[in-house]
Amino acid sequence: MTGRSITVRTYAWVLLALLLLTAATLLLSFVPLGMFHMPVALLIAAAKTVLILLYFMHVIEQRYTIRVVLLVAVLLLGSLIVLTVADTATRDVPFHPPAPE
Amino acid sequence: MPTTHHVAHFEDLAKQGHAARLGMWLFLGSEALLFSGLFTLYAAYRNEYTSDFAAGAQLTNLPLGTIMTAVLLVSSFFMAFALATARQERSRVSIAALATTFLLGIVFLGLKATEYTMHFRDGIFPGAYYTGPLGERHGVVLFFTLYYIMTGLHALHVIGGLVLVGWLARRTRRGDFGEAWSTPLELGGLYWHFVDIIWLFLWPLFYLLR
Amino acid sequence: MTTTASPRPPAPAHVETKNYLNAETTFRSWATTTDHKRIGVLFLAGVTLSAMLGGTFALLLRLELLTPEADVMTAMTYNRLFTLHGVVMVWLFMIPAIPGAFGNFMVPLMIGARDVAFPRLNLASFYFYLSGALLVIAGAIAGGADTGWTFYPPYSAQTPTALVPVLAGVFVLGISSTMTGLNFIVTIHTLRTAGMTWWRLPLFVWAIYATSIILVLATPVLGLSLLLVAIDHAFALGVFNPAHGGDPILYQHLFWFYSHPAVYIMILPAMGVISEVVPAFSRKNVFSYRGIVIASVGIALVGFLTWGHHMFTSGMSAFDSGAFGVLSMFVAIFSAIKVFTWVGTLYRGRITLSTPLLYFFGFLFLFAFGGMTGVALASTSLDVHWHDTYFIVAHFHFIMVGGTMMGFMAGLHFWFPKMFGRLYSQRLSAVVALLAISGFILTFTPQFLLGNAGMPRRYHTYPAEYQPLNIISTIGSWAIGAGLLIGLLYLLVALWRGKPAGSNPWNLLGLEWSISSPPPPHNFEEPPKVWQEPYDYWRARND
């Protein structure tokens, strides 16, 4: 069911973009961003993921069903992470074991 | 060699292909959820031990980790290239591309093994076996326990991927794939790209946190 | 107007030509079968044996609980027994039973397909089931685990019992689950026959579809949690060990992220059976087809967001407790839609009091009651008192046994004639149904009272004032055991001596009733075409 609209040239451009984004992530890690380091790095990782999904994995030309599978999986793993971290982040008694001896 | 791959209980080859693809995506969905438990643990513990995790990340090998990221990205390119050329009936190019993917996968594993060895030499082991620097800080030890579990599970998936790529190369040599049908190659590619994507998230979590 | 239950007598008994049972009869043909019907029968055999094993553990537990003191077994033995009871009932019976046995057999028939999408994967899923079950049994023989079926750390890392084979078995069973779910989703997407649109699918198929979403996406998280516990048990990695800075509550988050949706894996297929049985024996269309569909998928998806209600007293934050409490209440809305729809279907229908419908009445009362106690438990302030008491035990047994087991029995009695081409004794089966339902009520209702009065779970001794209710509960367990055993016997007898069932003993609409009983090896001669809505009895009125 895949069309032949993704050419090898597209793949090459995507690879270039991926490598550039990797370099960007690396460079940004040396910039003082404080608490934004992780979100920025993960956002760029997500962007790279989207490129791989759309082009290397052909999602851009796939049927709707595939996107639904992706979406549901992502939403569920998102809710696992969010609700669990919300627990540790909102405890009255912070979870720190006794100071090391 | 069979002239058609159409199986009796499917309406036609197109539907069969869609079924195979859907099955693979569902499998990848389940694999994503498998890793998500570990990402959850990482997120929760990082929240608790923020400075310890930052300290731990200083002890990982950033250059190696970055090279490994690039290696996997390039291998993904060659995997996609292998599929495209197989569909263009250029099977010799396709085999070469698969071989390149395979080699890059070996390189990745080699770098990982090197990294592990370097850590072992510094006494950085998981859990109760940790004897490396800053070992009295629970968060540092947890950082590396998660590091070994997550990169270890990922490496196991890479090994599985290599077996897959080797098998696909053999089938390509036998002339199984062409313009009409290349489903296993396509599905194998999906798996390989997925393994690459997991690493794209492991890299910032364990190497870039500063 | 009701008529007593009697499937209409078959037309002159046909000598059935080749069907899926007699086409080939060698051991090899069964061991290497890729026929979804045979695989369904294999699962049926496996889950029946597993239910007997898990039930035996339960009877032993209840025996000890006849008296306040420890007189039959030590505390350690008791702990191993309740752990194994939980593990076997959940993973060897409840989760695989309806999907593996009836899902496999009926779904392709209901959608007009020749088989499932990946028949060899289907066979593999059975062998993973078998291997996992054998591993668990090996673990049981080696003494079993004493951690409870929930394997909470830090104790699970320290226990001297044979944890690893049990964990390995469950892990392997999880792989079987995932394969089954994947196969069903792809089958339902790609193998529906001409005219079988999504909105014409039988509700059992929708139920299996919703269940399969959970099977595929939730099970891996269990696999990971068990892997971590096993590694921690073997190697002291301390991921959840407070002595190493770990947080045991994080394990509970991961475990229950799977295990709460798991209870929907257990109940959704049973609800699917009910959604077939009720319109069949009211001879009436379902009150709201779309309602059931939306509720089924809604339960599957929203059920993923409620796991924290198992953790209200664990040390989880108040914020999360509140969030999970509210989310848990939402899920109940979908179940309520279903209960009202089934009752609305019965209303002004032409009721036949068949045995499957009797099991539905048991289901209706027990599931509704159990479900309502679930809504009460979703309230943190109430759960604080009931958690880890027999109130919880009663709640989940009402849903699991009163819901899933009744659904399983209803399905078994509904589809037995189709699967094996034989009829069973209607009168005896009705008596057994009543015995099982009464036995159930006797076993588990006292447990609500015991829990509310403060009796904790997972103890082999208790204060003397709890004894009378415990005695009633144990007697009830004997009634359930007796009933189910008799049930097994008359079904086995029917396999050999039952009257031929004919292709449509209940005189119903649906593709599965249009072929012979037992069905031919390839199901349909020609791919059928569908133009009718399901359960369209009003229009069909072929009586």
The tens digit of pLDDT for each residue in C398-418 reads: 999 999 999 999 999 999 999
> What is the tally of structural domains in chain C?
1
Domain spans in chain A, listed from the N-terminal domain onward = 8-89
Say which residues have a Cβ less than 8 Å from residue C305's Cβ, sequence separation at least 6. Answer: A79, A83, C324, C327
The SS3 of residue B20 is helix
Contact across the interface for A90 and C317, Cβ inside 8 Å: yes
Neighbours of chain C (3+ CB pairs under 8 A): A, B
Token duo for residue C296 = 């089924």
Give the domain extent around B93: 13-208
* pLDDT value at residue A2: 47
Task: Give the gap in angstroms from C-alpha C10 to the nearest C-alpha of chain B.
Answer: 31
C171 close to C227: Cβ distance less than 8 angstroms: yes
Q: Residue written as tokens 């190497």?
A: B207
Task: Give the gap in angstroms from C-alpha C257 to the nearest C-alpha of chain A.
Answer: 7
Q: How far apart are CA C310 and CA C304, in angstroms?
A: 13
Q: How far apart are CA C305 and CA C247, in angstroms?
A: 21
Would you say how long chain B is, in residues? 210
Say if C109 is an interface residue toward chain B (CB within 8 Å): no
* Residue B5: inside a domain: no
The tens digit of pLDDT for each residue in B16-67 reads: 999 999 999 999 999 999 999 999 999 999 988 988 999 999 999 999 999 9
Q: What is the CATH number of the domain that holds B136?
A: 1.20.120.80
Helix (H) or strand (E) holding C91: none
Give the domain extent around C455: 32-537
Would you say how long chain A is, in residues? 101
* Residue B36: inside a domain: yes
Of the listed ranges B114-123, C17-26, C259-268, the least confidently predicted one is: C17-26
Q: Which residues pair with C456 in a beta bridge?
A: C389
Nearest to A83 among C221, C245, C323 (CB): C323
* pLDDT value at residue C541: 61
C222, C211, C218: which is closest to C187 by C-alpha?
C211
Q: How far apart are CA C501 and CA C523, in angstroms?
A: 17
Q: Which residues pair with C2 in a beta bridge?
A: C351
Q: How many Cβ atoms are within 10 Å of C468's Cβ, its own excluded?
A: 11
Mean per-residue pLDDT, C368-372: 94
Q: How far apart are CA C511 and CA C112, in angstroms?
A: 6
Q: Does the CA dihedral C368-C369-C370-C371 come out positive or negative?
A: positive
Residue of chain B with shortest Cα separation from A83 = B40
Q: How far apart are CA A33 and CA C141, in angstroms?
A: 58
Q: Which residues pair with C3 in a beta bridge?
A: C352
Q: How far apart are CA C396 and CA C404, in angstroms?
A: 11
Compute the count of residue pairs across chains A and B with CB atoms less than 8 Å apart.
126
Would you say how long chain C is, in residues? 543
> What is the tally of structural domains in chain B?
1
Q: Which residues pair with C422 in a beta bridge?
A: C500
The tens digit of pLDDT for each residue in C171-203 reads: 999 999 999 999 999 999 999 999 999 999 999
* Residue B6: inside a domain: no
Contact across the interface for A80 and C257, Cβ inside 8 Å: yes
* Residue C3: inside a domain: no
> Which residues of chain B have a CB within 8 Å of the CB of C244?
127-128, 138, 141-142
Residue from C307, C311, C319, C328 to probe the interface with A (highest A Cβ count within 10 Å): C319
Q: Does the CA dihedral B2-B3-B6-B8 come out positive or negative?
A: negative
Asked whether the predicted pLDDT for residue C6 surpasses 70, the reply is no
Nearest 5 degrees, angle CA B14-CA C510-CA C504? 130
Asked whether the predicted pLDDT for residue C131 surpasses 80, the reply is yes
Surface-to-core class of residue B163, CB atoms within 10 Å of its CB (0-12 exposed, 13-18 middle, 19+ buried): exposed
Phi-psi sector, C279: left (phi>0), alpha (psi -120 to 50), beta: alpha
C147, C156, C155: which is closest to C87 by C-alpha?
C147
* Residue C17: inside a domain: no
The SS3 of residue B49 is coil
Say if C254 is an interface residue toward chain B (CB within 8 Å): yes
B87 close to A4: Cβ distance less than 8 angstroms: yes
Token duo for residue C35 = 């026929």
Contact across the interface for B44 and A53, Cβ inside 8 Å: no
The tens digit of pLDDT for each residue in B158-200 reads: 999 999 999 999 999 998 898 889 999 999 999 999 999 999 9
Residue from B31, B78, B197, B207 to probe the interface with A (highest A Cβ count within 10 Å): B197
DSSP string, C336-388: HHHHHHHHHHHTTS-EEE-HHHHHHHHHHHHHHHHHHHHHHHTSHHHHHHHTT
Question: What is the gyration radius of the CA atoms in chain B, in angstroms?
Answer: 20
Q: How many Cβ atoms are within 10 Å of B13's Cβ, its own excluded?
A: 15
C516, C487, C511: which is closest to C421 by C-alpha?
C516
Categorize the per-residue pLDDT at B157 as very low, low, confident or very high, splitting at 50, 70 and 90.
very high
Chain B: residues touching C (Cβ < 8 Å): 8-11, 15-16, 18-19, 22-23, 26-27, 29-31, 33-34, 36-38, 40-41, 44-45, 48-49, 126-129, 138-139, 141-142, 145-146, 149
The tens digit of pLDDT for each residue in C445-495 reads: 999 999 999 999 999 999 999 999 999 999 999 999 999 999 999 999 999
Nearest to A90 among C213, C257, C319 (CB): C319
Contact across the interface for B43 and A85, Cβ inside 8 Å: yes
Token duo for residue A25 = 């992530």
Surface-to-core class of residue A64, CB atoms within 10 Å of its CB (0-12 exposed, 13-18 middle, 19+ buried): exposed
The SS3 of residue B76 is helix
The SS3 of residue C319 is helix
* pLDDT value at residue C409: 97
The percent of residues in chain C predicted with pLDDT above 70, rounded, is 96
Categorize the per-residue pLDDT at A92 as very low, low, confident or very high, splitting at 50, 70 and 90.
confident
The tens digit of pLDDT for each residue in C445-454 reads: 999 999 999 9
Single-letter residue type at B63:
P
* Residue B183: inside a domain: yes
Q: How far apart are CA C219 and CA C45, in angstroms?
A: 23
Categorize the per-residue pLDDT at C389 as very low, low, confident or very high, splitting at 50, 70 and 90.
very high
